[in-house]
């Protein structure tokens, strides 16, 4: 019932547990796993469970450590239900291991000035990918790098900024979910939407698209997507066909969405002189926070509308998403 990506993540997490046990005990037999071992594994992940690009150890985020614990707990719950009682004489060793306390969520919504300059960069995104030199110009028009897909990247960011979709939800979109999906109709229609968006917890929802997203999607579908599509390409957003390591169906991975958004953030900051508009590292969830805050303002903080559009009912995160950016919050105090 799980996607291939989620199954692969669970396998990686359990393989880390197997490696930890084998290194510490000399074998990975589940009958030897105790509360002490699971606790030590949790603490190891929190201190040095991650890896930098150079291969060095780095601390894992508490949420990632807790995700590992959840997958280990699911494994031992399955073992407890199906294996002989003698296999785990002490019972499920994960039940008495407390997850790490999560830090207070950080508000990442962009302020109005940042949203304006991000959209300005998106309007000019093609120009940043042009190759320089006379030999790259034909008919007065500059060519772009063969892997570059500026119209796709522009459409992705406008869609995230205008719908609050998560990166995995963006990567999982199919062309058939876009209504309508003909470029000329997208430019004319008053109500375009993405139907059946698959979210966390096997939820499904529909989201409406604004003018910016519709225009950007129409441009991408008309001028770029056809270059990368094959008969098996159901995904809305496709990786460049010139990339040898792309998936057989061409679908972008969630990590690719991270890279695309971060690169646009880097271009933005190179164009901006004032420090108060700089983004630092732009992440997909920053766009989700921005959408949620603007939706909260526009809907009068309507909880039902926020749950429906964000696909999230957790009170903790609804409060986070709807907190104002620091500049706006500071303005409240200044006016008192």
82/131 same-domain check: no
50/117 same-domain check: no
Strand partners, 205: 197
pLDDT of residue 277: 84
In a domain, 323, yes or no: yes
48/169 same-domain check: no
- Contact 195/180 with Cβ under 8 angstroms? no
Render pLDDT for 265-278 as a digit per residue (tens, 0 to 9).
Answer: 999 999 888 777 88
Render pLDDT for 187-228 as a digit per residue (tens, 0 to 9).
Answer: 999 899 999 998 876 778 889 999 999 999 999 999 999 999
pLDDT of residue 38: 96
Mean pLDDT of the 42-54 span: 91
**Helix axes 62-82 and 35-48, enclosed angle (nearest 10):** 150
Question: Between residues 258 and 280, which one has the greater pLDDT?
Answer: 258
In a domain, 95, yes or no: no
| Structure confidence at residue 26 as a pLDDT band (50, 70, 90) | very high
In a domain, 102, yes or no: no
58/146 same-domain check: no
In a domain, 36, yes or no: yes
At CA 240, angle to CA 168 and CA 290, rounded to 5? Answer: 35
126/44 same-domain check: no
193/255 same-domain check: yes
Question: In Å, what is the CA distance from 202 to each residue of 198, 258, 315?
Answer: 7, 22, 19
Burial 252-289 (b: 16+ CB within 10 A, else e): beeebbbebbeebbebbbeebeeeebebeebbbbbbbb
pLDDT of residue 219: 96
- Count of structural domains within the chain: 2
148/280 same-domain check: yes
pLDDT at 14 over 60: yes
At CA 110, angle to CA 144 and CA 306, rounded to 5? Answer: 110
Question: Between residues 23 and 140, which one has the greater pLDDT?
Answer: 23
The pairing of beta strand 141-142 with beta strand 178-179: unpaired
pLDDT of residue 316: 67
At CA 226, angle to CA 283 and CA 197, rounded to 5? Answer: 45
54/195 same-domain check: no
| Structure confidence at residue 331 as a pLDDT band (50, 70, 90) | low
Q: Identify the domain boundary among 87, 104, 132.
A: 87
**54 Cβ partners below 8 Å, 6+ apart?**
none
In a domain, 104, yes or no: no
In a domain, 242, yes or no: yes
Render pLDDT for 67-90 as a digit per residue (tens, 0 to 9).
Answer: 999 999 999 999 988 887 788 888
| Structure confidence at residue 165 as a pLDDT band (50, 70, 90) | very high
174/318 same-domain check: yes
| Structure confidence at residue 294 as a pLDDT band (50, 70, 90) | confident
Render pLDDT for 87-111 as a digit per residue (tens, 0 to 9).
Answer: 888 889 999 999 999 876 677 889 8
Mean pLDDT of the 277-284 span: 90
pLDDT of residue 231: 86
pLDDT at 136 over 60: no
- What is the average pLDDT value for the chain, to the nearest integer? 87
CATH code of 295's domain? 1.10.443.10
Render pLDDT for 247-267 as a digit per residue (tens, 0 to 9).
Answer: 888 999 999 999 999 999 999
128/66 same-domain check: no
pLDDT of residue 303: 75
Give the 3-state secondary structure of residue 235.
strand
In a domain, 234, yes or no: yes
User: Which residue range forms the structural domain that includes residue 320?
Assistant: 112-334
**237 Cβ partners below 8 Å, 6+ apart?**
152, 155, 156, 170, 171, 173, 251, 252
Render pLDDT for 140-149 as a digit per residue (tens, 0 to 9).
Answer: 555 777 889 9
pLDDT of residue 33: 92
pLDDT of residue 169: 93
DSSP class of residue 130 equals B
156/289 same-domain check: yes
163/215 same-domain check: yes
In a domain, 310, yes or no: yes
């Amino acid at each position: 019932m799980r996607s291939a990506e989620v199954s692969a993540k669970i396998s990686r997490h359990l393989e880390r547990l197997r490696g930890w046990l084998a290194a510490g005990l000399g074998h990975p037999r589940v009958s030897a796993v105790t509360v002490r071992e699971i606790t030590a594994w949790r603490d190891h992940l929190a201190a040095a469970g991650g890896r930098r690009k150079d291969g060095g150890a780095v601390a894992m985020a508490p949420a990632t450590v807790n995700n590992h614990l959840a997958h280990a707990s699911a494994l031992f719950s399955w073992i407890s239900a199906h294996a002989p009682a003698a296999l785990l004489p002490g019972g499920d060793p994960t039940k008495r291991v407390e997850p790490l306390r999560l830090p207070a969520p950080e508000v990442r919504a962009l302020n109005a000035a940042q949203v304006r300059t991000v959209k300005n960069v998106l309007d000019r995104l093609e120009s940043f990918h042009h190759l320089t030199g006379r030999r790259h110009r034909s008919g007065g028009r500059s060519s772009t790098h063969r892997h570059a897909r500026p119209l796709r990247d522009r459409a992705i960011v406008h869609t995230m900024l205008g719908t609050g979709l998560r990166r995995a939800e963006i990567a999982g979109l199919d062309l058939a979910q876009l209504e309508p999906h003909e470029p000329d109709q997208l430019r004319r229609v008053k109500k375009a939407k993405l139907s059946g968006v698959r979210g966390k917890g096997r939820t499904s929802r529909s989201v409406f698209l604004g003018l910016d997203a519709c225009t950007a999607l129409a441009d991408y579908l008309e001028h770029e997507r056809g270059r990368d599509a094959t008969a098996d390409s159901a995904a809305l957003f496709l990786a460049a066909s010139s990339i040898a390591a792309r998936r057989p169906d061409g679908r972008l991975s969630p990590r690719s969405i991270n890279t695309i958004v971060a690169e646009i953030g880097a271009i933005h900051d190179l164009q901006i002189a004032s420090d108060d508009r700089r983004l630092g590292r732009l992440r997909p969830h920053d766009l989700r926070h921005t959408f949620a805050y603007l939706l909260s303002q526009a809907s009068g903080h309507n909880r039902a509308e926020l749950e429906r559009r964000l696909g999230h009912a957790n009170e903790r995160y609804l409060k986070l998403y709807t907190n104002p950016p620091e500049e706006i919050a500071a303005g409240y105090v200044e006016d008192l």
